[in-house]
């Protein structure tokens, strides 16, 4: 079984409800078990800043699927939760499910890049990930806690606790 880390984000509709539905959908994936869910955080939008704040969290799953299979399931879940892949890059969305890490694999294909290529620059990923696994090593980047400590203050300023979505055991 492999361990995968998935970033969740939403800023349209009712983001907390959407993230809760995403957690339930992740629990229902075949050959996959939800191990842990971080607290949620309100975060300033990244890239395209003229939009509502995002609600972000990170989950850890254990899966018998490969990374491409899991990615395809995540894309299907996004679609089922109302995500339409239209509009500008980094724009508002009903749900975003990003495969951040899959064990310690490094992959660069047309369909998937692992680790997620910008996760080491984004507080909205590193803050909730550090809640679950501060000592986790991101291949070719370093430990999550060190990556978080290296972020500029202005990146961290846009992150506010939003509370627990729902409890799951720690990985």
For the chain, give every domain's residue range. Answer: 2-117+159-163
For 43-67, how does the pLDDT look when each residue is reduced to its tens digit (9 = 90+)?
998 777 788 999 999 999 999 999 9
More confident residue, 154 or 91: 154
Residue 15 has pLDDT above 90, yes or no: yes
The overall average pLDDT reported for the chain is: 91
Six-digit token pair at 157?
């300023």
**Is the Cβ–Cβ distance between 57 and 20 less than 8 Å?**
no
Interatomic CA distance for residues 129 and 75, integer angstroms: 21
For 132-171, how does the pLDDT look when each residue is reduced to its tens digit (9 = 90+)?
999 999 999 999 999 999 999 999 998 999 988 864 444 4
pTM above 0.85, yes or no: yes
Task: Quote the pLDDT of residue 170.
Answer: 42
By C-alpha distance, which of 137, 135, 132 is closest to 106? Answer: 137
DSSP codes of every residue in 89-100: TT---S-EEEEE
Could you identify the residue written with the tokens 């070719």?
140
Residue 92 pLDDT class (50, 70, 90 cuts):
confident
By C-alpha distance, which of 95, 89, 94 is closest to 26? Answer: 95
Strand positions, DSSP E, the chain: 2-10, 32-37, 40-43, 54-63, 96-102, 107-108, 113-114, 137-138, 142-143, 159-163
Residues noted as catalytic: 83, 93, 96, 98
What is the average per-residue pLDDT within 87-114? 90
Interatomic CA distance for residues 6 and 98, integer angstroms: 5
Strand partners, 32: 63
- Worst-scoring range by mean pLDDT, 63-67, 112-116, 119-123, 154-158? 154-158
User: What b-and-e string marks burial along 30-66, b requiring 16 or more CB atoms within 10 Å of the CB?
Assistant: eebebbbbbbbbbbbbbeeeebebbbbbbbbbebebe
| Third-level CATH fold of 2-117+159-163 | Alpha-Beta Plaits (3.30.70)
């Amino acid at each position: 079984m492999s361990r995968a880390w998935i970033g969740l984000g939403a800023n349209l509709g009712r983001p907390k409800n959407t993230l809760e539905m995403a957690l339930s959908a992740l629990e229902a994936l075949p050959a996959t078990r939800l191990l842990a869910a971080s607290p949620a955080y309100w975060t300033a939008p990244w890239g395209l800043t003229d939009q509502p704040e995002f609600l972000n969290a990170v989950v850890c799953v254990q899966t018998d699927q490969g990374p491409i299979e899991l990615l395809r399931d995540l894309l299907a879940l996004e679609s089922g939760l109302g995500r339409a892949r239209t509009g500008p890059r980094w724009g508002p969305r009903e749900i975003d499910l990003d495969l951040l890490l899959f064990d310690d694999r490094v992959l660069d294909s047309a369909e998937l890049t692992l680790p997620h290529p910008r996760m080491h620059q984004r507080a909205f990923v590193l803050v909730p990930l550090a809640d679950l696994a501060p000592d986790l090593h991101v291949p070719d980047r370093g430990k999550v806690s060190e990556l978080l400590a290296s972020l500029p203050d202005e990146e961290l300023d846009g992150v506010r606790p939003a509370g627990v979505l729902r409890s799951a055991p720690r990985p």
